């Protein structure tokens, strides 16, 4: 849920009631997406590959 396209798509999906799991680079944005109905994981620069792996596990 980063950038213009990701944020736009995430906003559209949550507005339609579709559950999404997103990874955000800015931890301050997690609360905003949670209020919109998304599950958000903050992306740690030091653990980026691990965070993305955990986020995508079982979501194929």
Backbone phi and psi for residue 39, each to the nearest 5 degrees, phi listed first:
-95, 125
Which has more confidence, 27 or 55? 27
Average pLDDT taken over every residue of the chain:
76
Q: Is pTM, for the whole model, over 0.75?
A: no
Any idea what the Cα angle at residue 56 is, between residues 39 and 34, rounded to 5°? 5
The whole-number average pLDDT for the span 18-44 is 79
**C-alpha span between 60 and 45 (Å, rounded):** 23
Residues of the domain holding 37: 3-56
**C-alpha span between 52 and 44 (Å, rounded):** 10
Record the tokens describing residue 28, joined without a space. 């301050």
pLDDT attached to residue 16: 93
Name the domain count of the chain.
1
Q: Tell me: pLDDT of 42 over 60.
A: yes
**C-alpha span between 41 and 22 (Å, rounded):** 6
């Amino acid at each position: 849920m980063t950038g213009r396209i990701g944020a736009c798509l995430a906003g559209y999906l949550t507005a339609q009631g579709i559950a999404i799991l997103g990874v955000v680079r800015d931890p301050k944005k997690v609360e905003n997406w949670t209020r919109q109905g998304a599950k958000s994981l903050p992306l740690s620069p030091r653990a980026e590959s691990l965070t993305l792996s955990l986020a995508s596990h079982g979501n194929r």
